[in-house]
Structure 1
Amino acid sequence: MYLFLVLSLHTLWVAVSIAMQHGHYDMCKTQTKSDEGIVWEYMACQPESRDMTPYLKVKLEPPNSTCGDPPEPFCAMGNPYMCNNECDASTKELAHPPELMFDSEGRNPSTFWQSVTWKNYPAPLQINVTLSWGKTIELTQNIAITFESGRPEKMILEKSLDYGLTWQPYQFYAADCLDAFRMEPKSVKDLTSSTVLDIICTEEYSTGYATHTKTISFEIKDRFAIFAGPRLHNMASLYSQLDTTKNLRDFFTVTDLRIRLLKPATGATFVDERNLERYFYAISDIKIHGRCKCNLHANSCTFTNNRLACDCEHNTTGQDCERCKKNYQGQAWSPGSYLTIPKGTANICVSSMPSIFPKVAHSTVPPARVSSHKRDCYCYGHSNRCTYIEVVNTAVCVGCRHNTHGQQCEKCKKGFHRNGSAKLDDVNVCIANICDNELLRCQNGGVCHNNMRCLCPSGYTGILCEKQKCEDTGSCSSKSGQESISHNLYLITMIIVTRLCTF
């Protein structure tokens, strides 16, 4: 009968868990068509893809890279030998500041950012354009950079995942990859599932000074298509790969992008030193679509106080929903799964408060999974190892030190009490009880107060009221002195017993 009750409770717990997880996916469900008609499809929580350029900040290196200060002439785009145009930062109609890379196009003439000319040739004309979000984002469509000038003969697109502290190449662009970067030219269409993360150099977008083709792309969708098919019709396959292929999620994730312009278009094998005003960079438009990275724990992302942040669900918190909320650290934080239940899981942060469910007999608990990662434990520094009990979906600290115990080593062992002046992660958080109604009893009518001290009657003093005040004046009888010695021996004995009981 007891075993039946335990199994019933276990079945109920599993059902409740599945229902709760469906409930958390419920906020991200959508209606789709199937053979059975319109049905609800539960999907991982993630914000919608959108234009991410309104939320970025742009920085140029060197900072005086924009033309117009002082004013300078440059050659017409269509005719490099008509050099009667002028860039003047002090005149709105003649200025070409960086923000014109992101304004709405469609006007005639088009607006664009423009660099200084190559007037310092043969010194290289090299400029970095850094785009920063102050937030982790995931790219969802091709990056498109439209040049008003000829497309650069040499350029690198770089990415950062740590807010610009370190950089790594995303793709190389050159008119001659072997000459520019010592790399064989490739196309994204040459990549396979085993080489999808390769960094390539392409010659497709570096065609000199021609003006009929102005755009340089970084092909996100072509890499998606390796798993999802040419028309991205099999997104389930892509999601499965994003869940299981190491580093694939990170490949499409950035905090910053950097466009390294290394050599302007020359349209020839040599540079015309008599007309250096014809060589410069000009960008009229940059398109970057993506979504806030919320680790599949949020369905929306808001922009407030010039800052993007996920609206976190699943008891998570942080700008990227990258950690569990306080009191919801019952198991290690983990990103959600792209796959829907039952193949995937929302990986909801569970409560770290004591469970309301009854303890289950050991004979019915599946083998415990012991974590080998220190980060999987939330034990306030009193243990670095946890046992994960799958039945109740909870991690329990193992081998709590510093006289602590409990699911997170957050309680004090018997015979010890919480040190009010110490934090939970302090090694001295639990200090020995001075008195206990079970072990160390106050003597001579003393009363134990909060397991911390004895309130002694008049005429007695000491830790356990074991000492007569007359001892301080030497007026006690010999019998009283012997009784005091006896009390002291009792105190020492009981302290030793208490220490032994805690091991």
Structure 2
Amino acid sequence: MPSGGGSESSQASPGMARPPGLCLLAFLGLGLGTGVSPSCWDPRGQPRRCMPDFENAAFGRAAEATNTCGSPPEDYCLQMGARHASALCHRCDATDPRLHHNASFLTDFHSQEESTWWQSQSMAFGIQYPNSVNITLHLGKAYEITYVRLKFHTSRPESFAIYKRSRAEGPWVPFQFYSASCEKTYGKRQRHYLRPGEDEQVAFCTDEFSDISPLSGGNVAFSTLEGRPSAYNFDGSPALQEWVTVTDLLISLNRLNTFGDDIFKDPKVLQSYYYAISDFSVGGRCKCNGHASECAPDDAGQLVCVCQHHTAGADCERCQPFYQDRPWARGTAEAANECLPCNCSGRSEECFYDRELYRRSGHGGHCRNCRDNTAGPHCERCRQNHYRWEERAACQPCHCHPAGSLQPQCDSSGTCLCKANVTGWKCERCKDGYHSLSEGGCRPCACDPAGSVGICDPNTGHCTCKERVEGHLCNRCQPGWFNLQPHNPAGCTSCFCYGHSTACTAADGYEVTHVHSDFSQGTAPPTAARLARSFLPPSFSNRLHEAEEGAEPLLSAFSFQRLLSNLTALRLRVSRLSLSEVQLTSARPGPGARAGWVEECTCPPGYTGQFCQSCAPGFKREIPFGSPFGSCVPCTCNQHGDCHPLTGQCRCLHNTEGPSCERCSPGFYGNPFVGRFDDCKPCPCPGHSPCTEMPGSGEVVCTHCPPGQRGKRCELCDDGFFGDPLGQRGPVHPCVPCQCHGNVDLNAVGNCDPVSGRCLRCLYNTTGEHCEKCQPGFYGDALAPDPPGKCAPCDCHPDGSVPGQEGCDPSTGQCRCLPHVTGRACGLCQPGYYGLQPAVGCKSCQCHPMGSRESECHALTGQCSCQPGVTGKQCDRCHHGFFGFSARGCRACNCSPLGSVTPQCHENSTCLCRPGFVGYKCDRCQANFFLDPPSSRCQQCPACYGLVKDEVQPPCSPTRSPSWTAWKVKGTGQSISGHSSALTTLALGAKGRKGQLGDIRIVPTGMRKVLGHRKGQAALRRRMALVRDRAMAEAQRKIKQAERTLGNSLSISTTARRTAGEAEQVSGESAKVREERCGVWGARAGLWGAGGLVAITVCRAQVAAGDLEQSMQAEAVLSAGRLQLERLWLRLATPGALAGQLSLLQQEAARQQEKIQAFESDLAEIRADKQNLEDILRSLPEGCSK
């Protein structure tokens, strides 16, 4: 089918194939095509919806495949079906234009007769699941896809998926899954439709196109909207509009369809399985959202919509820049939804869509870049910080001063709103009394009125200061002056400080006080007020206020203050005037009005006090008892203390003494004249006891050591003491008496180390740092008060203690014992051990846990206490003549002394019989034998007794229950002469108690007695494997021989069927029916009963094959016999009344089958029993062996 491009019409054009199976194509015409006009404007010039032509969007576009055949060249075969070998093979070569099948053939133009196809490598190259092959198709632009159609040149895949991208470089989104195993391969259940309300952007998974047929030319058509409820309202479903929008498609081929023959890895078969696609079609329209009727390449060659309705974008997905008056919308059949222009009042050609503006006004066009200093959504008002006189006039800038105005916006007259203390039309200058216009407005002039003259500079804020004032704000006195006051023309007062300093400040804590007198008592003696020294104001008021310009005072300020400092009284003499009152202003300590004229000085070194009136510590008056105006000089105390500031007497420090601190204090030594604080060092003696420095050598020697110490510096301890009094070897430890706990001779010298205190001469077998423990080889209490109770020797047993380990536990005396040895001196064996030996210890009793009464044994011999019937040193075996080793002991065999070969029986309690004897205990003679007292042997009866017995007592007589051994002998004697040993087994198996079912219960019982003791399973498996391998070949030969014998047995089996039929008509209790029933059951018992099988097989092997030891192993015979008897059972099976009984027997046989493995475990027992049967067979009459 051609795959070219073309426009949509009522009939399929050569370039546009209409794929089959698209259920919604007619509907999609409604949603995506019907009613679409070639022009986007109607005849009246009104806008209407328009769309590009429907086309095959894949045609001619390059597809990319992750796997393509031909690199390297390879052969591939055509798939002819599962029953036909693929004989038609071709070659794929990527370098040969005639033989390549690259991805360009997916979207090319071709005819049905000369098809081209893309092809992957075959399964021989490992492309099968989980490996995938991907095909990617780039559409070059967003399309609204109606369908995707794939035509396969081979059989369609079992599983593949379609993915899409809605925008370039976007994520791959699942579009559709095809698989016969949706949940297994993709984890999705099969689904073909959605219910209303479900997410419609979900990919379906279907098995619709996952069959292996047809082998070629199969189509897969995917309809993008099928099964989605909103498809009938496509224009109103943004979800589906997004769903069908595709820019890229990816086909992921995940699993090939096969006939299952690929598992044999035949190269021809693997070469016949591969992916091949002849056509890849994508039906849809160039997505233009109803605003364009065609798509065309742009200047860069990229396919874009030719947009109408004032839209723009590759998909007409937005409005043009100046057409933003309402939100962009997709064109529908009901409304074209064209974009509308913005209203900018003729002052702008740019705008943007404003959602909030549209919500409020119904017009979303928000203009930008308005001209003529206008602003607003429609350029309808002046911009911020602009004004205009009338509506149509151009807007002018306000030009408000940015620092002086509260806001840049002015009123309609252009007047700005000023900040505080700012004035002017544009707020460009400060008001009077303010300065420094800034963002914060104007600041008030901060000149100190006490120190400044006039107002500040309006620009800099700089102040004009008084004579003795400085600073930007005239708020501080010059150096050497203090007490800034507004009434002081100079501003500040000079410092006094007794002439020792020029740095001072006004002191805190002084209040103004007035000395006042109004002479109210008439004539009175002169009034005097005692003033505190230096608290007077610096001048008389009348003198300061009445000084004439240019007048010079007679005294300097310092001299005048010095004069007043020693003032004690003022005498006012009045001769011609009357004086009504006198008032003197002064200061005193207190919290009242601050007296700022009281100074506090900053003193130089050597002086101290508020007015530097005193000498500092370490200084004294140069002249003893000098005035405050006198100089202070350093004290002469060798720098070891200060002196009295008036007298100069030293107050010594640094461990010195003397008038000038010229010697060290007691307990110290050194040269105090150096003048350092550490001239006098403490004596290196305990407790700072006195010492002396030796002349010449300078060695310091202590002169008064404490008790218990000695040495030049008391660094040693006396005899009987220990310690490190000076810490010469570590931390300081005073000398203390040695602690040896009374275990030394107190009259001896050198009992302990004088440094460590370790005792050196311990007595009474003691040792340790302080004689606190016993010596090795001794034990006891070394701290006992009396010597006899201190330490005693260990006396460890030489055989039971560890060699080379001297001594014992110093407290308990416990010696270190050898393994399993106990006792303080290690002289006893632990319970369960015996035989104390040097360097070894005691040996374990190893009493058998079942055979012994207890785990302990004799301490010397090691003999365990045994259970009844058990013997051995460890009680690990039965006495001779006993069996059944268990926790209750062993039981007596009780073998007959006459009939048994030995008193010892087998583990199943059966005894080994002498010839002629039978029974579990060999306690009776076999049939047709009698006990001969003189010889104590069973002698054979004459031959006539055997004939009479055979005639009177049938082989399956229920008169008594013979022993297992007797049953085997009787079965062997009644074998049918000249026939298969298998029929002999039938007759033997038919005997039992209670008629029909007698021996079926006896056989397992006897077998359990013979085989009751099971050996170790691992050893048994190894033995069985060896025997089985050797017996296989001989078993095959025996089976063939048995098959020949079965042919001769056919007549007897026919007789058995006829007899069973007659038995159904006659009474079920007749001897003939019992005989036939026993025969039939014998066959089943021979097949399933392990015990009877062993015995019968031995007898059959004896008769038919001769010597068992020379021909084969017992296991091989057992296997061959079971197979032969099973075949014979199938031949003898007949319907009737016996069938029910046989069913019951079959159930019993199934239960016995579970015990077969246990019965076959002991081959040695079988051989022993075989020997008994051989002896019996040799003793039978000559006629019985036939």
> TM-score, normalised on structure 2?
0.27
Q: Once superposed, what is the RMSD of the aligned Cα atoms? A: 4.2
Distance 1:41 1:154 in 2: 51
Q: Which runs of 5+ in 1 are unaligned?
A: 1-24, 32-39, 229-237, 357-375, 418-429, 442-481, 486-503
Residue equivalent to 1:264: 256
Residue equivalent to 2:186: 181
Kindly provide the amino acid, as one letter, of the partner of residue 256 in structure 2: P
Secondary structure of the equivalent of 2:98? Answer: helix
Kindly provide the amino acid, as one letter, of the partner of residue 377 in structure 2: Q
* CA deviation string 1:152-182 (max 9, x = no partner): 1111111111224301111111122232223
Larger CA deviation: 78-87 vs 98-107: 78-87
Kindly provide the amino acid, as one letter, of the partner of residue 268 in structure 1: G
- Residues 246, 298 of structure 1: alpha-carbon distance in 2 compared, 3 angstrom cutoff: closer
Kept after mapping to 2: 8 A contact 1:143/1:217: yes
Distance 1:131 1:168 in 2: 14
Kindly provide the amino acid, as one letter, of the partner of residue 300 in structure 1: E
Q: What is the total number of aligned residue pairs between the two structures?
A: 355
**What pairs with 1:68-217 in structure 2 (closer than 5 Å)?**
68-78=70-80, 81-82=86-87, 84-121=89-126, 124-140=130-146, 142-187=147-192, 190-194=193-197, 197-208=201-212, 210-211=214-215, 214-217=218-221
Distance 1:146 1:213 in 2: 6
Residue equivalent to 1:254: 246
Kindly provide the amino acid, as one letter, of the partner of residue 290 in structure 2: L
* CA deviation string 1:392-415 (max 9, x = no partner): x444589x9xx9841178986242
Shift of 1:385: 4.0
Secondary structure of the equivalent of 1:54? Answer: coil
Kindly provide the amino acid, as one letter, of the partner of residue 324 in structure 2: Q
Q: Which runs of 5+ in 2 are unaligned?
A: 1-36, 388-395, 402-409, 417-456, 461-1186
Shift of 1:387: 4.0
- Residues 252, 173 of structure 1: alpha-carbon distance in 2 compared, 3 angstrom cutoff: same
Distance 2:284 2:180 in 1: 29
Larger Rg: 2
**What pairs with 1:271-420 in structure 2 (closer than 5 Å)?**
271-274=263-266, 275-303=269-297, 306-332=301-327, 334-340=328-334, 345-355=335-345, 378=353, 385-388=356-359, 393-396=363-366, 405-407=375-377, 413-416=383-386
Shift of 1:131: 1.0
Kept after mapping to 2: 8 A contact 1:331/1:377: no
Kindly provide the amino acid, as one letter, of the partner of residue 58 in structure 1: A
- Residues 108, 412 of structure 1: alpha-carbon distance in 2 compared, 3 angstrom cutoff: same
- Residues 106, 432 of structure 1: alpha-carbon distance in 2 compared, 3 angstrom cutoff: farther
Kindly provide the amino acid, as one letter, of the partner of residue 142 in structure 2: T
- Residues 105, 284 of structure 1: alpha-carbon distance in 2 compared, 3 angstrom cutoff: same
* CA deviation string 1:432-489 (max 9, x = no partner): 7479994269xxxxxxxxxxxxxxxxxxxxxxxxxxxxxxxxxxxxxxxx9999xxxx
Instruction: Quote the sequence identity (%).
Output: 28
Shift of 1:41: 12
Kindly provide the amino acid, as one letter, of the partner of residue 288 in structure 1: V
Distance 2:73 2:378 in 1: 67
- Residues 416, 54 of structure 1: alpha-carbon distance in 2 compared, 3 angstrom cutoff: farther
Shift of 1:194: 4.5
- Residues 78, 221 of structure 1: alpha-carbon distance in 2 compared, 3 angstrom cutoff: farther
Kindly provide the amino acid, as one letter, of the partner of residue 70 in structure 2: G
Shift of 1:416: 4.9
Shift of 1:335: 2.5
Distance 1:411 1:77 in 2: 82
Shift of 1:299: 1.7
Larger CA deviation: 266-275 vs 176-185: 266-275
- Residues 60, 30 of structure 1: alpha-carbon distance in 2 compared, 3 angstrom cutoff: farther
Secondary structure of the equivalent of 1:94? Answer: coil
1:218 aligns with 2:222: yes
Secondary structure of the equivalent of 1:336? Answer: coil
- Residues 201, 66 of structure 1: alpha-carbon distance in 2 compared, 3 angstrom cutoff: same
Kept after mapping to 1: 8 A contact 2:54/2:283: yes
Distance 2:324 2:191 in 1: 47
- Residues 123, 311 of structure 1: alpha-carbon distance in 2 compared, 3 angstrom cutoff: closer
Kept after mapping to 1: 8 A contact 2:70/2:94: yes
Distance 2:330 2:223 in 1: 26
Kept after mapping to 1: 8 A contact 2:40/2:308: no
- Residues 123, 321 of structure 1: alpha-carbon distance in 2 compared, 3 angstrom cutoff: closer
Larger CA deviation: 430-439 vs 298-307: 430-439
Kindly provide the amino acid, as one letter, of the partner of residue 138 in structure 1: E
Distance 2:134 2:166 in 1: 17
* CA deviation string 1:95-126 (max 9, x = no partner): 11111011223243421001112223377441
Residue equivalent to 2:237: 245
- Residues 75, 298 of structure 1: alpha-carbon distance in 2 compared, 3 angstrom cutoff: same
Kept after mapping to 2: 8 A contact 1:83/1:278: no
Distance 1:83 1:317 in 2: 57
Distance 2:304 2:379 in 1: 33
* CA deviation string 1:236-257 (max 9, x = no partner): xx3xx22323402111111111
Distance 2:138 2:374 in 1: 46
* CA deviation string 1:15-45 (max 9, x = no partner): xxxxxxxxxx9934789xxxxxxxx998522
- Residues 279, 313 of structure 1: alpha-carbon distance in 2 compared, 3 angstrom cutoff: same
Distance 2:101 2:285 in 1: 29
- Residues 416, 282 of structure 1: alpha-carbon distance in 2 compared, 3 angstrom cutoff: farther
Distance 1:66 1:210 in 2: 23
Kindly provide the amino acid, as one letter, of the partner of residue 121 in structure 2: V
Secondary structure of the equivalent of 1:100? Answer: helix
Distance 1:378 1:41 in 2: 23
Secondary structure of the equivalent of 1:386? Answer: helix
Secondary structure of the equivalent of 1:158? Answer: strand
* CA deviation string 1:302-326 (max 9, x = no partner): 2456422101011111111122222
Shift of 1:431: 9.3
Distance 2:195 2:40 in 1: 32
Q: Greater strand share, 1 or 2?
A: 1
Distance 1:41 1:179 in 2: 56
Distance 2:46 2:415 in 1: 63
> TM-score, normalised on structure 1?
0.60
Kindly provide the amino acid, as one letter, of the partner of residue 98 in structure 2: E
Secondary structure of the equivalent of 1:199? Answer: coil
Distance 1:30 1:211 in 2: 52
- Residues 317, 73 of structure 1: alpha-carbon distance in 2 compared, 3 angstrom cutoff: same
Kept after mapping to 1: 8 A contact 2:47/2:336: no
Shift of 1:282: 0.6
Q: Which has the higher contact order (CA 8 A, sep 6+)?
A: 1
Secondary structure of the equivalent of 2:105? Answer: helix
Secondary structure of the equivalent of 2:247? Answer: strand
